Structure 1
Amino acid sequence: MATPIYEFAQIPRVDAASRARARVRRMRDAGQAPTVGVIYNPRSHRNLGADFDCGICPHVHIAQPRERGQLPLALAEFAEKGIDLLVINGGDGTVRDVLTCGQAVFGEEWPAIAVLPKGKTNALTVDLGVPDDWTLQDAIDALDHGSRIYRRPMNVSALGTDAKPGAVSRVAGFILGAGAFTKATQAGQSAHKLGAFNSMVVAVTGIWALLQSLFATRGNAWRKGARMRIGLGAADAPMVHSGHGDPAMRQLLFASTLERLPAGIKPFGALRSGLKLVAIDQISRRTTALIPLMLLGKIKGPLRQRGIHQLAATQFSLSIDDQFILDGEAFPAGDYRIEQGPELAFVAP
């Protein structure tokens, strides 16, 4: 369920006037096995096309959609069965696709969700505290005996003029980045080929990005960033600029609703809950050298004067002339609105 470039034209249009299909609800008796729906991505890194063990529970229903267009039907069938638990077997990209296609099926009434970390990157499961060896049986057991962690994904809506009235092209995800972040993601693909995954990828690409930013000229893509306009809140107030470098450019943009990130990095400082973003202007080499301390949460003072903006927002708009990244895949330049989606209950140990 992955392609190199994930164009917004391929995302199902969500009609704001239509209601999501009603999920069949049922009350489980004490000791009764839950009804479980599994979206299994055989192309995920750690699945390697292996067959899934279907004999674990008679109430487990497994779907293996081969392309994104098959996901809405699979999820609608799960909704009709009244599943108690939706298990996503794959990486961050699979999670993004399921949450995107599930919006028209579940709306605001999602079942509990469990994620098995089977992809090259699994940032969500890092935040949830899910171990790498978590199994389907572990997830089913955790439905009644584990914990619940609540997160709201980001909804990224295209603001093009071609959308029909009341309909938008929208995708859901947890990590968005642009500028040098796009370059870092491309470098991360090379790191994958060398056998680096998850937190190791963050470390490898982070070191490489730091070296590029320290020693390259401002015309280098790592320091130049991308031309973008960021508008904050419902009023779309322009984000301030520090005055370092070209005011029309940002060296990096990073946004997420996760509270714990791979490798223990803390790009948002003391901010934890909700929609958070950090934008970096074309900062000096001296400030660039402070980035590792910032990511470790060691710098407590204000960084805005240095060109590093850390803030929370109810929503923000992004007009960008370059690709940006959402959960590992590139999206085209354009105008977008980023806001929080429905609150989802994730099952954790």
Structure 2
Amino acid sequence: MARVALLSNPRSTGNRSLLPRVRSFCAAHKDIFHYEVEHVDQIGTALATIAKVKPKVLVINGGDGTVQAALTELYHGGHFGKEPPPVAVLPNGKTNLIALDLGAEGDPMEALQRVLEIAKSDMHPHIVQRELIALSDGSAGGKQVLGMFLGGAGLADTMLYCRHKIYPLGLPNGLSHVLTVIAALLSIMFGMKGRLFPPKPTPVKVSVLKHGQLQGQFALLMVTTLERLLLGGHSPKADASKGALQLMIIERKTLTLVRALIEAIRGRLGRHRLEGVHLERGDEIRIEGDHSNVILDGELFEASRGHPIVLKPTPPVPFLRLAA
């Protein structure tokens, strides 16, 4: 039995320089079973093979799309029966939100070394439970895609702007994100338009089961099951009666956005009521719009009239937190 199974996607951007180090590390540690896929379509076969070695931990090494595809296959594929191994994610994507939530940041190789150390000891203090977001069109038997972070409205448009306009410049991730935020703020606060700025978001309607609905143009729409919220926000207090999905919406108004940014910088966003900032929890969220984009862990979907996007939580899945 391998202590650690490592699933790598060599084609992810971060692995272009990292993979030689990963291969050398795995060659030096025989208790790591390393499986590489060339395309996300091969992840099902990969997990079926990995299940045969019965690892204590499954580590995902790839970009957001690899993580999203692996979580979907892990949940639906049934390769590990009723007791899948806890999942760890190396900080190797563009955004690393899932990895950060699980305490993995900095050098991916240091994170992999930490996973191996934990796998050799009592793992129970490091195992945490997280629900996944199941995205579908709401129809019976419709395809479900699973992830942990969804961005919509202006946030999705800004993420796509960063992906298509900023990342191709070849700048470091941190600088790319700073430039993206500046462009988005200039677009909202001063109405700047054109190919150098993110587009103005289309109106959307967001409904939370038993909690009402909001409709309008939003600078940020986010749904997650992670503990760490975007902008350093604090999620509404966990309450089984309120639901597992955490929703944050910031209206596309200059004063609202400025106040939200100030609260985020102070580490207080979400601690108290702020006009134009909406935080809610629920077990079913519906997003409707006219060709409005949403991005679930790097994969693009579209909400259109008569075809809403429906989000529901899955039962808890085990993950490995690297932080003490």
TM bracket, shorter-chain basis: 0.7 to 0.9
| Corresponding residue number in structure 1 for 2:251 | 281
Helix, strand or coil at the partner of 2:15: coil
Alignment partner of 2:113 out of 124, 137, 143: 137
**Hey, what's the Cα distance between the residues in 2 that align with 1:272 and 1:74?**
38
> Is 1:209 the counterpart of 2:178 in the alignment?
no
| Aligned amino acid, residue 225 of structure 1 | P
Contact 1:152–1:343 under 8 Å retained in 2: yes
| Corresponding residue number in structure 1 for 2:300 | 330
| Corresponding residue number in structure 1 for 2:132 | 154
Query: Which stretch shifts more, 120-129 or 94-103?
Result: 120-129
Q: CA deviation at 1:66?
A: 1.6
**Hey, what's the Cα distance between the residues in 2 that align with 1:148 and 1:67?**
30
Q: CA deviation at 1:175?
A: 1.5
> Is 1:39 the counterpart of 2:7 in the alignment?
yes
CA deviations over 1:68-124 (Å, ceiling 9, x no partner): 221111101222322211111123332111101111224652202222222222111
Identity of aligned residues (%): 27
Change in Cα spacing, 1:67 to 1:149, as seen in structure 2 (3 Å) is: same
Q: CA deviation at 1:223?
A: 8.2
| Corresponding residue number in structure 2 for 1:302 | 273
CA deviations over 1:186-228 (Å, ceiling 9, x no partner): 232233334231x55444322321221101179x996852332
> Is 1:271 the counterpart of 2:236 in the alignment?
yes
Higher helix share: 2
**Hey, what's the Cα distance between the residues in 2 that align with 1:208 and 1:196?**
17
CA deviations over 1:7-65 (Å, ceiling 9, x no partner): xxxxxxxxxxxxxxxxxxxxxxxxxx743321111122232063423423334322212
Q: Which structure 1 segments of 5+ residues have no match?
A: 1-32, 242-246
Q: What is the TM-score of this pair, normalised by structure 1?
A: 0.74
Contact 2:88–2:321 under 8 Å retained in 1: yes
Helix, strand or coil at the partner of 2:232: coil
| Corresponding residue number in structure 1 for 2:53 | 81
Contact 1:85–1:113 under 8 Å retained in 2: yes
Task: Say what the alpha-carbon RMSD is for the aligned residues.
Answer: 3.0
Q: What is the TM-score of this pair, normalised by structure 2?
A: 0.79
| Aligned amino acid, residue 338 of structure 1 | L
**Correspondences of 1:48-127 after superposition (within 5 Å):** 48=16, 50-51=19-20, 52-53=23-24, 54-103=26-75, 104-105=77-78, 106=80, 109-127=83-101
| Corresponding residue number in structure 2 for 1:238 | 212
| Corresponding residue number in structure 2 for 1:345 | 319
Change in Cα spacing, 1:276 to 1:35, as seen in structure 2 (3 Å) is: same
> How many residues end up aligned between the 2 structures?
298
| Aligned amino acid, residue 132 of structure 1 | G
**Hey, what's the Cα distance between the residues in 1 that align with 2:82 and 2:183?**
41
Q: Which structure 2 segments of 5+ residues have no match?
A: 239-243
Contact 1:225–1:252 under 8 Å retained in 2: no
Q: CA deviation at 1:251?
A: 4.1
Change in Cα spacing, 1:93 to 1:260, as seen in structure 2 (3 Å) is: same
